[in-house]
Chains A and B, each alone.
Chain A
Amino acid sequence: MSSKDRMLARAARDITPGMTVNLGIGLPTQVMNFVPADCPVCLHSENGIAGVGGLAAPGHANRNLIDAGGGYITCAPGGSFFDSAVSFALVRGGRLDLTLLGAFEVAANGDLANWIIPGKFAAGVGGAIELAQKARRVGVLTTHTDKHGNPKILERCTLPLTAVGCVHRIYTDMAVCDVHPDGLHLVELAEGITLAEVREATGAPLVVADGPMPTF
C-alpha cells in the first residue's frame, strides 16, 4: 500500500457506523474507497445528496447525479436528494458528524486555510467555510509537506483562513496529530517514519506522550 493509500485508509478508520459524513473535494473524496462496503454510513455531498453510493461505473454515469466536485456518482439505497438550502441546513444545523477536508495550511491552534492563495489562487470558497465551521468533527487530510518540502502544519497559518480553530485531527502521509488546547499532540506515526523525521517536517512543536507510539 502506498503512503497515500495508508493515509486514506487511516482516515477511513475514524468513519464509524451511523455517522453522517462529508468528504471534501480532492484527496478526502478518495477516503470513500477505504470505508468497508457493509459499514452503515451516510455520505453527504453539498450539492444536494445524502447517501452517496460511490463513483458511477464507467459508461453508467447519470447526467443528473454528481457530487460537489463534479464526479459522477451513484445514490445508495435509502439516499435522498434536496436543494442547496436544505443541504446547508444539514451542515449548519449540526447534522454532520464528521467532515474531512484538504488544506493549504493547518495550524496547531486548529485554524485551517484551504481556499485562497492571494495573487495565485482565488476561485471562491464553495462550501468549505460552512463545513469547517459547523461539522461536529473536522479532520484535515493532507500531505505532511508541500511539493517543495515545506511544512503544511504550522504554528499559525499565514494564508487567509477558511475557519478559526475548527480542526480536531490531522491525517498525513507521515502522522496523525490531534489539536489540543496545549498544542498539537502526535498520536500515531506512519510505518517506517521516525519521530525525528516528523518533527523535522512539522512547523509547530509536537507534544509526544511517553511510551511506544502506535503506527498505521
Chain B
Amino acid sequence: MPALDKSAGLTEAIALIGDGARVMIGGFGVPGTPFCLIEELVRRGPKNLTIIKNDANEPGMGVDWLLSAGMVKRLITSHVGLNGNAIRMMNAGEIEVEFVAQGILAERIRIAGAGLKGFVSDIGMGTLLAEGKQRLEIDGATYLFEPAIEADFALVHAARADAGGNLVYEATARNFNPLMAMAAECTIAEAETVLPIGDIGPDAVHTPAPFVDHLVALAELPEVYGVVKR
C-alpha cells in the first residue's frame, strides 16, 4: 500500500488557521522555529490567537512578528527573557502570558498528544507556580494536577521529511517540535528538504507520518534561520 503524499502549498496550509485559534509553534530560540510558516501566518492575519511556544524568540524574529502585528491574545510559554518587546507587551496588558515550568510545558503538550487529560507532579510545590492549581493526595503527600495543553494547530520545522510526512529533526532544533506535532488537531510541518516517499529509513524517523497533516517544502532558507549575530 503506498503512503499518501501530504505535500501542500504554504498559502493553502496556513489559510486553515482562523481567528481565535490555539496554535503551537515549535522551536527553542532559533533552532526548530518554523519562521516561514509564521511569516505566512502574519500575512494572513488571523486575530485573537493563543500561541503556545517555549519562548518568544527575539525582537524582530518569529513569534515577535505575531506579537507586533497584534495577532496574539494569549501566550503560554516558559521564558520570554530574550524578547524585551514581549515583556513590554505583557507588562502593558496588551497580551496575557501564562508561564509554565519548561519541562511541565513539554509534558503537558506531550500528554495531549498521547490522548490523555493530564498528570500529577510535585514540581513547583511551595512556589508561586503552584498557586491556583488543583491538588491531589497520593500516599500521604500532596501533588499538583497539570492539565494537558491541546491545540487546534501545530506549526513545526523539520530538517528533512519524506513526501508522506515522516519528519527528521537536526541537533537541538528538535526540542518541542515532535511533542507539538502529536498534540494538535492539525499539524503543519515545514521541511528544509523533502525526499521521495521511502527515502527516509523507518528507523531514522523522529515524527511518524500519521501525526503530520500538511507538509510544506521550503524552496530556500531565509537568513533568519542562520546563526544569530549578537
- Report which A residues bind B (CB closer than 8 A): 45-49, 61-68, 70, 72, 75, 81-85, 87-89, 91-92, 116, 122-127, 129-130, 133-134, 160-164
Chain A binder among B17-25, B80-88, B197-205 = B80-88
**Considering the complex of A and B, which 7 residue pairs feature the smallest CB-CB distances, nearest first?**
A88-B103, A123-B81, A124-B79, A84-B106, A164-B126, A126-B79, A127-B102
- B84-126 CB mask vs A (1 if < 8 Å, else 0) is 0001001000000101011111110110000000000111111
Distance, CA A121 to CA B95, complexed state (A): 17
Which residue of A83, A87, A134 has the most chain B CB atoms within 10 A of its CB atom? A83
Distance, CA A152 to CA B44, complexed state (A): 49
Contacts A66-B29, A125-B79: A83 and B178 contacting too (C-beta < 8 A)?
yes
Distance, CA A70 to CA B58, complexed state (A): 11
- Whether A130 lies near B126 (C-beta < 8 A) is no
Ordered by A's residue number, 22 sampled pairs between the chains whose C-beta atoms are within 8 Å are A45-B172, A66-B28, A66-B31, A70-B29, A70-B82, A83-B176, A84-B28, A84-B102, A84-B103, A85-B107, A85-B179, A87-B106, A122-B87, A123-B79, A123-B87, A124-B80, A124-B81, A124-B97, A125-B78, A129-B129, A130-B103, A164-B127
Choose one: A66, A83, A133; the contact of B179 (CB below 8 Å): A83
- Whether A63 lies near B31 (C-beta < 8 A) is yes
- Whether B175 lies near A92 (C-beta < 8 A) is no
- Whether A70 lies near B54 (C-beta < 8 A) is no
Check B141 for interface membership: any CB of A closer than 8 A.
no
How distant is A171 from chain B, measured CB to nearest CB, in Å? 23
How distant is A158 from chain B, measured CB to nearest CB, in Å? 14
Choose one: A48, A122, A123, A134; the contact of B175 (CB below 8 Å): A48
- Whether A124 lies near B171 (C-beta < 8 A) is no
Check B145 for interface membership: any CB of A closer than 8 A.
no
- B56-84 CB mask vs A (1 if < 8 Å, else 0) is 00000000000000000000011111100
Choose one: B28, B110, B121; the contact of A47 (CB below 8 Å): B28
Chain A binder among B8-16, B146-154, B222-230 = B222-230
How distant is B228 from chain A, measured CB to nearest CB, in Å? 7
Check B188 for interface membership: any CB of A closer than 8 A.
no
- Whether B172 lies near A83 (C-beta < 8 A) is no
Distance, CA A164 to CA B77, complexed state (A): 23
- Whether A84 lies near B54 (C-beta < 8 A) is yes
Interface size on B, residues (CB 8 A): 51
Contacts A72-B227, A84-B106: A127 and B174 contacting too (C-beta < 8 A)?
no
Contact partners of A88 in chain B: CB under 8 A: 102-104, 106-107
- Nearest residue, chain B, Cβ from A124: B79
Distance, CA A49 to CA B170, complexed state (A): 11
- Whether A84 lies near B176 (C-beta < 8 A) is yes
Contact partners of A67 in chain B: CB under 8 A: 172
Contacts A91-B103, A125-B101: A47 and B126 contacting too (C-beta < 8 A)?
no
Distance, CA A138 to CA B227, complexed state (A): 32
Check B128 for interface membership: any CB of A closer than 8 A.
yes
- Whether A47 lies near B29 (C-beta < 8 A) is yes
Check B177 for interface membership: any CB of A closer than 8 A.
yes
How distant is B100 from chain A, measured CB to nearest CB, in Å? 8
Distance, CA A46 to CA B176, complexed state (A): 11
- Whether A126 lies near B78 (C-beta < 8 A) is yes
Distance, CA A119 to CA B127, complexed state (A): 17
Distance, CA A84 to CA B178, complexed state (A): 9
How distant is A163 from chain B, measured CB to nearest CB, in Å? 7
How distant is B188 from chain A, measured CB to nearest CB, in Å? 18
